[in-house]
Structure 1
Amino acid sequence: MSIISEFKTFISRGNVIDMAVGVVIGGAFGKIVDSFVTNIIMPVAGMLTGGIDFSQMKLVLKAADEMAKTPEVAIGYGMFVNSIISFITIAAGVFMMIKVINNLKKPAEVAEEPAAPPATEVLLGEIRDLLAQKK
């Protein structure tokens, strides 16, 4: 089997296509969540913390020197805080989505309990048990 035909078989499998769709939707979902965090969550968090803009927070290790034309060296921990909040929001969103999907699947997956046997079968079973006790 040639590499091209193996690749064709690999690509045509449903799992690969499902995974590709998941990656594309996940990327789009990530952009939505990033916008949600940046434009909704962080301004509220900034307001609650006295107007702090987390994305601008940094620890300057070495200030910029315009004479020597060296850029500022800083640790941008504010963007890290934004990323953590984005991650938590994405994780919560995915969790809720999976929870909804599982709840939608539950009724279909739950098998009905078997119906109670007819009264004649129950009576025959009792007679059988009584006969077995007498022996």
Structure 2
Amino acid sequence: MGQEKYTVEHEWLRIEDDGLVTVGITAYAQDHLGDLVFVQLPEVGADIAKGEEAAVIESVKAASEINMPVAGTVVEINETLADEPGKVNEDPLGAGWFFKMKVDDTAELNSLMDKAAYDAMIKGLA
């Protein structure tokens, strides 16, 4: 398993051995959203700038956007989520991933939090 990074918006990024980056939401995020009922993923091949909307998720509580944590191109999406959005609740850091991307500038990943920093941030939110 590759190196993991986290955003203040509760997204996780895993830098895979092949250089691609897998993106999803954290256990904290899915727990606060409640049961997901719908996931709209980006199109494969989409070039998305940092901070732009990449996906939309709807739960029994609210709708939320997943913004692109770093600029890049979507190379694969988790098509299972179209029929089974609950995978995000069951396994947010595994089978519930959203998409894989090719990052434009890998140096941007250095600005994101590591697990220790993310854990400290969510502890402060409790």
TM-score band (shorter)? under 0.3
More contact order relative to length (CA 8 Å, sep ≥ 6): 2
Rg larger in structure: 1
Higher helix share: 1
Higher strand share: 2
Q: TM-score, normalised by structure 2?
A: 0.19
